[in-house]
């Protein structure tokens, strides 16, 4: 079995490696210590297609696939681990939106995420539970045409910079992970707040906590099937 990269993927790896060495590595320690979030650099990376490997062409994606996405993330991390995280996360979450979100969210948000004009966060972990979806306390209740989300998420990478969050919440109590649904929540929603962590390192990932105090979102912001949010999301991550 040949484990060498194809010529096309190797060319991508070489291009990203040069960029990482020239643009990312020289400022890695500064960004890591200061916690400054280099928005313009991410937009430049978005223009170069670093976020686009998994997404469909109708949204501006390259459809190069998971191997290209992994190679790009790896080469970015050579220069700056912090810079690799938005590539890994937003690239993957764009695929999740493409498969689970309603058309109006896909059409508005995916092109902007691929261009790094908008950033996403992934909210599963809570103060009392990590990746154990059955232990979630955050809940979402349907009131008329709106979901009302109440709860707290912890240790969320990029939460301080995210323009929207993909939030796991229970829609059916006492039903384990099968009662968990996934929601698309813009961070300018009323009732949402966030607080940064004072991490010892990797400050540029902008990790923190997220609070949802009666946050109201449209009914259509449910992603995928109600009560199936966790397995549907995990299936897409297993690419």
Which tens digits make up the pLDDT trace of 184-210?
999 999 999 999 988 877 778 889 999
Alpha-carbon separation of residue 20 from 29, 44, 100, 109, 203 (angstroms):
14, 12, 32, 26, 19
State the residue for tokens 């059916």: 172
Which tens digits make up the pLDDT trace of 33-87?
887 888 899 999 999 999 999 999 999 999 999 999 999 999 999 999 999 999 9
Torsion of CA 65, 227, 113, 204, to 10 degrees: -100
Overall pTM > 0.85 = yes
Percentage above 90 pLDDT, the chain: 75
Do strands 180-186 and 164-170 pair parallel, antiparallel, or not at all (unpaired)? antiparallel
The phi-psi region of residue 65 (left if phi > 0; otherwise alpha if psi is between -120 and 50; otherwise beta) is left
Is the pLDDT at 128 greater than 80? The verdict is yes
Contacts of 189 (CB under 8 A, 6+ apart): 215, 216, 217
Local structure of residue 228 (DSSP, 8 states) = B
- Structural domains of the chain, with CATH: 7-114 (1.10.540.10), 120-237 (2.40.110.10)
Query: How many C-beta atoms surround the C-beta of residue 13 within 10 A?
Result: 17
């Amino acid at each position: 079995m040949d484990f060498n990269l194809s010529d096309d993927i190797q060319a991508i790896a070489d291009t990203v490696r040069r960029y990482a060495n020239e643009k990312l590595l020289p400022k890695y320690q500064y960004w890591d210590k200061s916690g400054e979030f280099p928005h313009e650099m991410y937009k430049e990376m978005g223009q170069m297609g670093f976020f686009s490997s998994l997404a469909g062409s109708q949204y501006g994606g390259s459809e190069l696939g998971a191997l290209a996405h992994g190679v790009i993330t790896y080469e970015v991390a050579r220069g700056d681990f912090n810079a690799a995280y938005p590539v890994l996360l937003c690239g993957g979450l764009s695929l999740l939106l493409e498969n689970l979100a309603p058309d109006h969210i896909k059409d508005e948000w995916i092109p902007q995420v691929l261009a790094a004009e908008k950033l996403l966060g992934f909210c599963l972990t809570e103060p009392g539970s990590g990746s154990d979806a059955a232990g979630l306390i955050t809940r979402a209740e349907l009131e008329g045409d709106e979901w009302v989300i109440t709860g707290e998420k912890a240790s969320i990478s990029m939460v301080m910079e995210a323009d929207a969050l993909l939030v796991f919440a229970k829609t059916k109590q006492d039903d384990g992970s099968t009662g968990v649904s996934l929601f698309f929540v813009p961070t300018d929603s009323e009732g949402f707040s966030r607080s940064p962590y004072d991490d010892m390192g990797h400050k540029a990932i902008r990790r923190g906590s997220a609070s949802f105090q009666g946050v109201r979102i449209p009914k259509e912001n449910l992603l995928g099937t109600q009560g199936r949010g966790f397995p549907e999301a995990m299936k897409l991550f297993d690419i």
